[in-house]
């Protein structure tokens, strides 16, 4: 399938084939990420609905949102150690292959009809996704001739289309099977998708850059032993903590809290540690200072955006008709709206950036990020309309409200996510090449951890409440305006990076 999308580059006969004018290896990574996202977004579509379903876990909407948010935050938190493993032990290519295998095992475990195995499966999928996600994005960067290669942003945008092809197909297949046939059959279908992704990755790896197999800073024998000791200590601490909670009868109330706290503390700790690294050059330190701005913006963005799989999905289940043009559809299908909008708009946006760049008018990264926050805030202002309507008048609203909300969020996402992936590879200190992509995903961890904290049993905030939605919308718009005001300062910190 990937080869059908390639074409001969312009030039002499026998010249190397390209993928829409990009290096041939992009096709391999495109397809790998497509199938990994197929399995992941199938899980994303099913998880909140399974948790609240009478035939599933039969939990409250608030508890389901808390579990979903913590799961999402852990997926992206584990991208950081995934990058570290690649930098110190296996290299990105091997780490991706191992991660894909762990994801497959996780989805197989989810397919077992047991609540205990279900949560074990969640942990395995999060672990495997963490090993895979940061490193596959890093390998995309390896395909290009340095940060100044003009094809780079376009390449990441094409890669982003691969993500969204998988995300589009997952709810339509995994979601339909899960909701209409059997929840666990849906989880099994996600395992099959990841297995296809791993197979084509192994077959197409010869097209990848040799740099993808390099361990950038190999660990010494003593460092390996130290890492093993540290890992075992933390495993023992976690086991002791959760055993204590289970014995005292507080497991249900406090199980999520340690993970939520970790999701907030670890991202801050990682950034502080990097900033204090005296081995970094003055330019690297300056770029890192500029990157902190983008990190904070991204955290606020993802805090709101990722509620499309929880708050908006649960609203769709309870408060929309799920009927359009004479056709009834499962709630999980709403999760296909964002990726189909991405696939329609991403080429347009990528072409627009290139067109503006040639004329010296492309907006800076800071302006793009400010736009993303403003748009995500506007999407929740729109959400207030059907939310207030159902609260005051009862009944259910048209699904077109959610279509409009997802469309606005998608435009905001295109101003932030592919741009963020690209700018992370450009601004990463040489010492932290793979780990820096993990740092980018820690912004998702921080944002989702805030949502998990708000909806935890201790706080129990109902994010379907119009007051909560209004507060989130206002925060996003104000934050967007704030980075726009400081765009020149951020640009100075970034050096030659736009």
* Range with the poorest average pLDDT among 159-173, 176-190, 201-215, 238-252: 238-252
Q: Going by C-beta distance under 8 Å and a sequence separation of 6 or more, which residues neighbour residue 292? A: 271
At residue 104, the pLDDT reads: 93
Q: Work out the average pLDDT over 285-314.
A: 89
| Domain extent at residue 424 | 21-218+256-493
Q: What percent of the chain has pLDDT over 70?
A: 92
* Residue 362 forms part of a structural domain: yes
Element spanning 17, H or E: strand 17-19
Q: How many other CB atoms are found less than 10 A from the CB of residue 492?
A: 11
The yes-or-no verdict on residue 8 having pLDDT over 60 is no
Contact predicate 103/124, CB 8 Å: yes
Separation between Cα atoms, residue 79 and residue 151, nearest integer Å: 25
The pLDDT of residue 11: 38
What is the C-alpha separation between 11 and 18, in angstroms, rounded?
12
Which helix (H) or strand (E) element contains residue 23?
strand 22-23
DSSP single-letter state for residue 430: G
According to DSSP, residue 464 is labeled T
Q: Kindly report the average pLDDT of the chain as a whole number.
A: 83
Is residue 352 in some structural domain? yes
355 in a domain, yes or no? Answer: yes
| CATH code of the domain covering residue 342 | 1.20.1250.20
With respect to residue 454, please indicate whether it lies within any of the assigned structural domains.
yes
In the predicted structure, residue 141 carries a pLDDT above the cut 90: no
> Per mean pLDDT, which range of 43-57, 77-91, 137-151 is the poorest?
137-151
Number of residues that make up the chain: 498
- Tokens at 173, concatenated: 């297949």
pLDDT band at 496 (very low <50, low <70, confident <90, very high): low
Domain count, the chain: 1
76 inside domain: yes
pLDDT tops 50 at residue 235: yes
Which pLDDT tens digit goes with each residue over 303-340? Answer: 999 999 899 999 999 889 988 888 889 999 999 998 89
Give the Cα separation of 69 and 305 in Å (integer): 11
So what's the pLDDT on residue 13? 37
In a domain, 164, yes or no: yes
pLDDT at 12 over 80: no
- Whether residue 33 is contained in a domain is answered as yes
Q: Is residue 243 part of a domain?
A: no
């Amino acid at each position: 399938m990937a080869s059908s999308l390639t074409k001969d580059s312009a030039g002499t006969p026998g010249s190397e084939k390209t993928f829409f004018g990009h290096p041939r290896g992009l096709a391999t990574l495109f397809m790998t990420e497509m199938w990994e996202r197929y399995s992941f977004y199938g899980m994303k579509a099913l998880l909140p609905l399974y948790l609240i379903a009478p035939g599933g876990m039969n939990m409250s909407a608030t508890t389901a949102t808390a579990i979903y948010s913590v799961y999402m935050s852990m997926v992206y938190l584990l991208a950081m150690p995934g990058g570290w493993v690649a930098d110190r032990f296996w290299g990105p290519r091997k780490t991706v292959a191992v991660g894909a295998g762990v994801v497959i095992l996780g989805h197989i475990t989810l397919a077992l009809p047991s609540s205990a195995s279900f949560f074990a499966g969640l942990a395995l999928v999060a672990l495997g996704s963490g090993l895979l996600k940061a490193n596959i994005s890093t390998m995309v960067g390896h395909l290009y001739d340095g940060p100044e290669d003009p094809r780079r942003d376009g390449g990441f945008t094409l890669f982003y289309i691969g993500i969204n092809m998988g995300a589009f197909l997952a709810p339509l297949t995994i979601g339909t099977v899960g909701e209409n046939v059997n929840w666990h059959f849906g989880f099994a279908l996600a395992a099959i998708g990841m297995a296809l992704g791993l197979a084509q990755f192994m077959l197409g790896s010869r097209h990848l850059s040799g740099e993808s197999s390099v361990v950038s800073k190999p660990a010494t024998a003593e460092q390996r032993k130290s890492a093993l000791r540290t890992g075992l200590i933390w495993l023992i601490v976690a086991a002791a903590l959760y055993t204590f909670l289970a014995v005292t009868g507080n497991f249900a109330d406090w199980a999520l809290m340690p993970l939520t706290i970790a999701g907030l503390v670890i991202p801050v700790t990682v950034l502080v540690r990097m900033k204090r690294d005296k081995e970094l050059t003055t330019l690297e330190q300056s770029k890192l200072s500029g990157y902190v701005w983008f990190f904070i913006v991204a955290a606020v963005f993802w805090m709101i955006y990722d509620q499309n799989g929880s708050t908006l999905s649960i609203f769709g289940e309870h408060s929309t008709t799920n009927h359009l043009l004479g056709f009834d559809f499962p709630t999980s299908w709403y999760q296909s709206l964002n990726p189909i909008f991405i696939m329609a708009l991403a080429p347009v946006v990528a072409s627009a950036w290139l067109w503006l760049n040639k004329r010296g008018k492309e907006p800076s990264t800071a302006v793009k990020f400010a736009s993303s926050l403003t748009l995500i805030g506007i999407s929740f202002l729109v959400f207030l309309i059907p939310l207030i309507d159902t609260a005051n008048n009862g009944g259910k609203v048209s699904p077109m409200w959610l279509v409009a909300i997802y469309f606005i969020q998608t435009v905001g996402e295109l101003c932030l996510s592919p741009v963020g992936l690209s700018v992370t590879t450009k601004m990463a200190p040489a010492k932290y090449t793979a780990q820096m992509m993990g740092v980018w995903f820690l912004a998702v961890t921080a944002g989702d951890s805030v949502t998990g904290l708000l909806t935890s049993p201790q706080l129990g905030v109902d994010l379907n409440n119009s007051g909560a939605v209004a507060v989130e919308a206002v925060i996003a718009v104000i934050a967007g305006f704030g980075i726009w005001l400081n765009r020149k300062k951020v640009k100075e910190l970034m050096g030659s990076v736009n």
